[in-house]
A and B are shown apart, each in its own frame.
Chain A
Amino acid sequence: MNIMSPDIEIVGTNPGDPLPQLEGHVSYGRFERVLRAGHFAITSEIAPPDSADPDEIMRRANVFDGSVDAVNATDGSGANCHLSSMGMCAVMTRNGLSPIIQISCRDRNRIAIQGDILGAAAMGVCNVLCLSGDDVSVGDHPEAKPVFDLDSVSLIRTIKMMRDERHFLSGRKLASGPNLFIGSSINPFAPPIENRVDQLAKKINAGAEFIQSQYCFDIAMLNDFMAQAVDAGLAERAFILIGTGTLASAGTARWLRSNIPGVHIPDAIIERLDQAEDPRAEGRKICVELMQQIKEVAGVSGIHLMAYRQEKFVNAIVQQSGVLGDRKPWSADDYDFHRRKLDSEKSAQTTAARTDL
């Protein structure tokens, strides 16, 4: 491919190639760049297939390309077995996408996790989300042995230590550290509500640099939580992305509410879905409205959009919400995009030069 590139800083030389690391950044990644540049960011979530076919991964991943800033590859979410987060991320980075690897403490001990952290960084993964993980009892292998050697806060500290101090937990030195932008999750909508901000503080103190929240369907509760986070100075110390999503129907909403622990959906939203002629479309409309409202909340740096089984609408939802303004997230096609931009700038300059004449 012939790349004419003064814009190598923006696009790198190959899809998947790490970008040069900017001053004050901890990773090579685009996601960190977007946030540190002060942009409102969007992340989404990819459902890993039950298959070993890399094309299937890319079919699922491509719908996000150019519409979000990073894509979370879930790690056995709901304690159900799927293709691994590591595998998803490996395929995605090779194709120039920006994944967030999820590491749950449920399945691996500290030996395996530290190895995976190095492996992920070596494959060009720039972002990691540290999770406790759902318990095995809720998944499809309830007979499995739960590990939970670390918890999410310990995991954050471990990665930060590997990255900044360049050694394993054992003290053994690393020849080069994993340059990962470290994230974790938070659920402001589950008890103990009054201590959720303390939990956020714990994670940020441990080293979390970005936060992705559980589903938010209740703006009043979010306002309360974010006000506390802003007061405590936490919103300045980490980028807080608030989760929201599309609900397929009132039935799904009720099911989520009663079966997925920690999901809080107000009755008003369920009623709206109940009365809608096309509940799926109404669910997306609600999502767009929530995104617009979330953006207005002080201290929020972005949105984590979970559109389970409606991934193909992510682009439209992001566009309709308008939360990105006219910013377009980077896409693997951006070689062309930036080349076109460069070309048009050049031709604009020539035109300007011509009119000057």
Chain B
Amino acid sequence: MYSVRQWSVKRSRFLEGVYNFTNPGILFCLRGITRLFGKSLDRPITALEAGLKGFLFDCQMCGDCVLSKTGMSCPMNCPKTIRNGPCGGVRENGMCEVKPEMRCVWVAAWDGASRMKDGEVIREAQFALDYRQKGKSSWLRLARETGDVEKTDAPETELSERGPA
């Protein structure tokens, strides 16, 4: 919901705290669940993530969550789905060029990031989304990716690992 989304950006610092506090626990549980049940609980877990983040952030379930790096403003609500914004078209009042009734998600993102402890990470460039992840759970992906090292997308490393096809 739009108003809840704006609320979340305003409380980015608080939500960052909640995220940092709960994230290791959630991932730990998810890793355990995956070990016990394999993929059989993926659907309800994904639905839970979609419901919760949908309510708080209008999450679009891109499958590669960057909320903690974008001031708690989901970049997938940008009509151009820009992951390194904003575009040049932001209106003088900070509203989106495409949807004048919506605050530019990247104006919100920089604003949210300015209040966060680790808000600086917004300066890192994000590579475009892997569309195969769309609709999937970021939590599960994170939990299943080797331990708790959070993978920042970096095409360089990814590509150099892959080498010539």
Contacts and interface: CB of A to CB of B under 8 A. Distances in A.
Interface of A: 105-106, 110, 132-135, 137-138, 146, 148-154, 157-158, 161, 165, 167, 169-173, 185-187, 190-192, 194-195, 198-199, 201-202, 205-206, 214, 261-262, 264
A278 B163 CA distance: 62
B164 interface: yes
Interface string B70-81: 000000000111
27 contacts: A110-B128, A135-B80, A135-B89, A137-B98, A146-B80, A150-B128, A151-B81, A151-B85, A151-B128, A152-B82, A153-B125, A153-B126, A154-B83, A171-B159, A172-B164, A187-B89, A187-B90, A190-B88, A190-B89, A191-B107, A192-B86, A192-B110, A192-B111, A202-B125, A262-B88, A262-B89, A262-B90
B127 interface: yes
B97 interface: yes
A192 B165 contact: no
Given A110-B128, A153-B84, A172 B91 contact: no
A301 B84 CA distance: 25
A187 B88 contact: yes
A172 B159 contact: no
Nearest to B127: A154
Interface in B86-105: 86-94, 97-98, 104
B80 A132 contact: yes
Contacts of A153: 83-84, 125-126
Nearest to A134: B89
Contacts of B122: 198
A148 B85 CA distance: 13
B155 interface: yes
A173 B127 CA distance: 20
Given A135-B98, A261-B97, A201 B111 contact: no
Given A135-B97, A194-B110, 6 more contacts: A148-B81, A157-B127, A190-B90, A192-B110, A261-B90, A262-B89
A261 B80 contact: no
A187 B107 CA distance: 14
Chain B interface main SS type: loop
A149 B82 CA distance: 9
Contacts of B164: 167, 171-173
Contacts of B91: 190-191, 261-262
Contacts of B155: 157-158, 161, 169
A191 B104 contact: yes
Contacts of A205: 125
Contacts of A167: 159, 164
A151 B123 contact: no
Which of B92, B126, B165 has the most chain A CB within a 10 Å cutoff? Answer: B92
A170 B165 contact: yes
B81 to A, nearest CB: 5
B43 to A, nearest CB: 27
Contacts of B94: 191-192
B92 A214 contact: no
B110 A195 contact: yes
B125 A132 contact: no
A209 B17 CA distance: 38
Nearest to A174: B164
B162 interface: yes
Nearest to B93: A191
B159 A169 contact: yes
A132 B87 contact: yes
A261 B96 CA distance: 9
A172 B165 contact: yes
